[in-house]
Amino acid sequence: MSKLERDYRTALLCYPRWWREARGEEALGVLLDSAEAAGRYRADPRDLLDLAVHGVLARDGGLAGRSAGGWISCAGRSASTRR
């Protein structure tokens, strides 16, 4: 496992278990693909902070209405603007 993958997996632990079980691998794949497309081999600290904040919101029910597709769309858009 690369450091990039380990960092993203650690950040995704901020999300509740139910969310990780339903969407965690998909989210991880999008994060890794976006980083690879941007030529990054280390996690951007802003991405890690963003994941932590949204993980806490998900625990509090703040993301209950957001679909996996909406989350991935946001993640892809975010990663593509940080080159």
36-74 pLDDT per residue, tens? 999 999 999 999 999 999 998 888 776 555 555 555 545
Q: What is the pLDDT of residue 83?
A: 47
| Close Cβ partners of 15 (under 8 Å, ≥ 6 residues apart) | 24, 51, 54, 55, 58, 59
Question: Which residue type occupies 50?
Answer: D
Domain boundaries, the chain: 3-80
- Any residues with CB less than 8 A from the CB of 6 and at least 6 apart, and which? none
Which residue carries 């029910």 as its tokens?
61
The strand ranges marked E within the chain are none
Query: How many CB atoms neighbour CB 27 within 10 A?
Result: 22
